[in-house]
Each structure stands twice: as C-alpha cells, then as structure tokens.
Copies of this chain bind each other. A is one copy, B any other.
Amino acid sequence: MKRVKIVVAYDGTNYCGWQVQPNGLSVQEVLEKHLSDLLCEEIRITGASRTDAGVHALGNVAAFNTSARMAADRISFAMNTRLPADIRIQESAEVPMEFHPRFANTVKTYEYRIFNRKFPDPTKRLYSFFYHYPLDVEKMQRAASYLVGEHDFKSFCTAKPEVTNTVRTVYSLDLKREDDMITLRIRGNGFLYNMVRIITGTLIRVGGGFLEPEDIPKILEAKDRGAAGETARPEGLTLVKIEYV
C-alpha cells in the first residue's frame, strides 16, 4: 500500500465543482472513476480545496491510497491519456502515508481575472468576469492593502455552520492591469467559503466608485456579510497553487 499525491489542473466550466454532488458531474468523481479504471481497484481521493461550480484550478492537490504496483510518477502520464480534455494531472508522486492534503499547513494562491472594457471578448468569457464600467485599479489596490495581514474575515465569507473561527491571514493581495484584463492575485494560509469572490466583489465596488478604500476597515470590523460587496461570479476565479509549508 502506498499514498499518492496528485496535482490537478481543470477547466471548471462544465463541472458542478470539485466535490461529488447529486446534481451534476464533479471533478473528484471523474478522477476517481479513471483512477479506479487505471489501477484496477476502487480509489477514493481527498482533495485539498473543494472549488465551487465553474471555478478553475491550475494546481489543486489530492491524495489517495493504492496497492497497485504502477510507479507513482507514471500515474500522471497514464491518467492524462484517459481523462477528458478539461482535466489534466500535472504531477503525481508518492508521499508519506500520513499526508493529508487539507489538514496540512499550506499557502494557497488564487487569481481572479476581471475583463474590463466596453464590449466582451468571447475568447475571454470562460476564464474571466466581464465588467464594462471603468474600474480604478489604483483605488482597488489601496483598498486591497487593508485586507493584507491577519484579520477576522467574517464579513467576507458565506456562513457555514461548522466554521466558527473566521480569522485568516492574507500574505499578499495584488492587482495589476494588462490592457483590458485586471488580475487580482491573493496568497493566504486558508480561505473561507467564497472569501476570494466576496473580496473581489467588494474591490469591484471600490473600483467603480461605490465604496472608498477607507471603507474596508469598517467592513472588516462589522463582521457582517451584508457590509461587503457581491460574491463575484465563479468563472473569473482560478486556484493557482497550493504550497505545503
């Protein structure tokens, strides 16, 4: 018996998210089916991040146990010939039996892309959020700076009954504009449910002039989801990488 870690990239457009759901096809389900076929035994995987429907990943992480003899580093190649084109394993490696992708200490990096101009570009629509009102990125960056550090992000998450501690640390939160694409990149030690999308929705309100950068500390203090902006749409969000530290 050995334990294998896989790093997985996927286009979330056609999935109900990472986790198995009754009402749609999940990334986990597709991986488990093809791993089970490949390794000729029932495989159950544990994912690091349960991304939502429509959210993309370049480097989500999962792990599973197997008694199959195939070398762990060959599993990526063998799986990529079987998987649908919208899921690709980037790496497979043997890890200690006690490795748990979710309960280990990690630094996660997400990107949210906002396509900001008069008319949409159809070739960008699946991997960014189209927003046609002008956005002031400099103001958004100033607002973002208030979110860096350790804070109670209760205002910036969708409540889940099992989550009682809403303090998280954001290591960096940077925005840049390249032509019409604004990319928000955030690194942290963990993210609450919808946290990146609510931060983005709030920064879009700042960029559009509906909030001031100086409102961000008040929103944090409010500890009330109603104080922050909308949950930005899923297609703009990509889980870039998970570092085990």
Contacts and interface: CB of A to CB of B under 8 A. Distances in A.
A87 B125 CA distance: 10
Count copies of this chain in the complex: 2
A203 interface: no
Contact of A123 (B9, B89, B120, B122): B9
A192 to B, nearest CB: 24
A86 interface: yes
Contacts of A122: 9-11, 56, 85-88
A80 interface: yes
Interface size class of A (residues with CB under 8 A): 20 to 34
A70 to B, nearest CB: 18
Nearest to A125: B85
Contacts of A87: 122
A58 interface: yes
B121 A9 contact: yes
Interface in A118-136: 119-123, 125-127
Contacts of A10: 122-123
A155 interface: no
